[in-house]
Amino acid sequence: MMPSDRRFLVMLASALLRVRVGGALALFASMLPLAHAELVVAFAESPVTVIRGASLYRTGEGAKLRDDDIVETDAGKSAQLEDSAGTLIALGPQTQVLLKTPAQPQNAAAGPLRITMLSGWLKVACNVSTAAQPPLSIELHGLDIKPAVNGPWSVVTMATAERAAVFAESGDDAIVVVRAPAQAPKLTLHAGQYLERHADEPLRAQPRPSAEFIGTMPPGFRDALVAVSGRLASRHELATPLRAVDYADVSDWLTSNVSERATFVKRFVPRLKTPAFRAQVDAHLDVLPEWRPILHPPPPPPPRSASEPPKKPAQAPPPARPQYGPGSIYRDKPTDEDTHH
């Protein structure tokens, strides 16, 4: 045993003696290294754009993706992402998605995957049983889409600024569509069924997809997705970023209604150091109200003058005294009984 191993065991034993069992388990878990479920660009007709943090990258096949990465395809070009749990994610041309892959303890099963789709075409499929697959959900214009099947399944979605559509392509059981807000009823799509919504109109379920949906679907989406990541020559981290993001790169996300919008201020606030980015955000505060306190913070309260006495804290008024009896405000007033004596 190496000296470093012995030191680790001594430290762990000492910690276990000082804490309760529950605390010890939490301490042990915190010592385990964390890892993200591996998600890679398995296929790309051309380099895809990845926004990580506040930096912009261009990358191709074999690139490893991380939690909070935004992935965008070019016009006329498609791509396919795959994770280590057998999930296949096809992106049509000019498609924008944000990936949520929370960190998991090393050697643990892959964690949940959430795909937030802003625009474009998306096809997600899994060819393994649900029991072997980590939880997956797709956010699309206020909808929360989750597979609820016992075997392989696939779903096709599309989104524009004014329209959203969901096609449950295959699955032995169903695709569950949860409407927003959460208290609204759930809708279930069985294999072959279709759902669409225009603007803020109610959802419309149909027994089959519309002719328009089929006619505009990317040709590659008509075939079953096949895993291709096993053919990759290598898997690698992203190279050096091309540049920091401009306002135009992220404006669609900043003004969207996705659930991750609340995180964008912290993520992109460093870009306010660039005058052009700051000016663009300032010019769009009507649709970016959460940025106003940062760009135009309220003035601080005026300082108190040195000669001005400090204000005394407000005191509660004394409790009201009863009119009669002990403690009465009329305790000195003679009563009828007194006058007769």
pLDDT winner (highest mean) among 59-63, 177-181, 307-311, 332-336: 59-63
Are 139 and 275 found together in one domain?
no
Quick: pLDDT tens for 150-176.
788 999 999 998 999 999 999 877 788
pLDDT > 60? residue 135? yes
What CA–CA distance (Å, rounded) separates 49 from 57?
A: 6
Kindly report the pTM of this predicted structure.
Answer: 0.77
Beta carbons of 151 and 130 less than 8 angstroms apart: yes
Could you tell me the CATH number of the domain that includes residue 76? 2.60.120.1440
Are 42 and 187 found together in one domain?
yes
Are 145 and 105 found together in one domain?
yes
Beta carbons of 157 and 189 less than 8 angstroms apart: no
Tokens read off for 270: 């460093």
Are 98 and 175 found together in one domain?
yes
Phi, psi of 324 (to 5 degrees): -135, 160
277 pLDDT tier (thresholds 50, 70, 90): very high
Counting the structural domains of the chain, the total is 2
Are 79 and 206 found together in one domain?
yes
Q: What is the mean pLDDT of residues 130-159?
A: 85
What CA–CA distance (Å, rounded) separates 72 from 7?
A: 47
4 lies in some domain: no
Choose the weakest-confidence range: 20-24, 92-96, 106-110, 327-331: 20-24
Residue 27 parent element (H or E) = helix 21-31
Q: What is the mean pLDDT of residues 59-73?
A: 97
Are 144 and 250 found together in one domain?
no
What CA–CA distance (Å, rounded) separates 187 from 165?
A: 13
Q: Which of 224, 228, 257, 258 is nearest to 124 (CA)?
A: 224
> Which residues span the domain enclosing 176?
32-231
What CA–CA distance (Å, rounded) separates 9 from 270?
A: 42
127 lies in some domain: yes
Predicted local confidence at residue 131, as pLDDT: 59
Residue 158 parent element (H or E) = strand 153-159
Give the pairing type, strands 204-206 and 48-52.
unpaired
303 lies in some domain: no
Are 150 and 276 found together in one domain?
no
Tokens read off for 234: 């290598």
